[in-house]
Amino acid sequence: MTEPQMPLRAGLPAVVGNNPQVLILGSFPSEKSLDTGEYYANTRNQFWRLLGALIGFDAELPYIDRIEAITGAGVALWDVVHSCRRVGSLDANIDRKTLVLNDFTAFLAQHPTIERGFVNGLTAHTLFQQAGSALPATRLPSSSGALTMSFTDKLAAWRVIRA
């Protein structure tokens, strides 16, 4: 697909419960996530397995129950990129000329209880730094199945969320 034919896609709305303390940011939802309206819908992605192990829920629960589990634990979920053109689901294919970052200043003003941020992977981290947010954010190893790191090692790194 040539660049002019790539559709401009908007990301998913933030998942936020009452009084969140932690914000976890991805880069931009996969095609499957955009099609289903569910964060981390690709079964190869280990996000839900990681959060389930950290918070204490079954990663195989229905999506709405997983959302209730994380929001109940004070975790909010969003992406750094608001909209962009991209072929497929790889971050490397995001057309940097068309990407628009989410407004973190407004978001954090609406959710002042958020004290800590975590970014899921290098692309999310790099783009979040460009956003110039005042929220300190720790880079985590990507939950993507494409990252050749064991689940045990990822989980050890992700434990900082619960610290």
pLDDT tens, residue by residue, 41-65: 998 999 999 999 999 999 999 999 9
**For the whole prediction, is pTM greater than 0.85?**
yes
Question: Which CATH code fits 3-162?
Answer: 3.40.470.10
What is the length of the chain? Answer: 163
Domain boundaries, the chain: 3-162
Assess whether pLDDT exceeds 60 at residue 86.
yes
Which residue has better confidence, 1 or 83?
83
Of the candidates 68, 67, 80, 99, the one whose C-alpha atom is nearest the C-alpha of residue 29 is 80
Q: Cα separations (Å) of 33 from 36, 97, 138?
A: 5, 22, 24
Which residue has better confidence, 123 or 159?
159
